[in-house]
Amino acid sequence: MNGLALLDYASVLIFALTGALVASRAQLDLVGFAFVACLTAVGGGTVRDLLLDRHPVFWVGEPTYVVIAASAALLVFFTAHLVESRYNWLIWLDSFALAIAVAAGTGVALTLDQPPVIVVLMGMTTGCLGGLMRDVVCNEIPLVLKQGELYVTCALVGSCVALIGNAQSLPQLTTLGLAALTCWGLRAGSLLFGWRLPVYKSRPPRNRS
């Protein structure tokens, strides 16, 4: 098993746990848990593979990914009530999943010799879309769009770090590790210290005489 496959497995597992936690907040049944967990776990990677015309899609070629996601849903279904703050668990697990998925997405695009813009976009797509699907389906405010927090920016910077590391001919493991660490560090800093980008504030139009 190569490093990219390990990254995909890790992101699938952690994203599936976040999907199941959101399902618990929505009080869904066991099938609902499995559906949301699987959607979250493979959503970003599926879009990535479809856009890159990568056949078969990673979880179709290796159904173990779906089994892992469903198992994570089963685990959370029977243990979520033991967690004091499911939302805190959700946002921190999501931060780890985001970082790992960004590294996985950029790694796949680099392996396929995609141009720099596509490499960055595939990292962002893999990292962000699964969580976005999860939150939209469960009628939650998407973490990816939550005002006052860095999210997509973390994915963007992490992907760019991977691109730079590859251009410097660093080993793949080092390159993707730096990308994941950078992405997670920015996300954690946003959650802990309130790091953010300026937001748009509307102003009344000027009177013209």
Question: 195: pLDDT confidence band, cut at 50, 70 and 90?
Answer: very high
Check whether 209 has a pLDDT greater than 70: no
> pLDDT at position 134, please?
97
- Please list the alpha-helical segments (H only) found in 30-115: 30-51, 58-61, 64-79, 86-111
For residue 185, the model assigns a pLDDT of: 98
> Is the pTM value of this prediction over 0.85?
yes
pLDDT at 178: 97
Which of 45-49, 78-82, 197-201 ranks highest by mean pLDDT?
A: 45-49
Within 13 Å of residue 112, how many CA atoms lie on the same side as its CB? 20
- If one counts every other C-beta atom within 10 angstroms of the C-beta of residue 198, the result is 5
* pLDDT top residue among 20 and 4: 20
Q: In the predicted model, is pLDDT for residue 147 greater than 90?
A: no
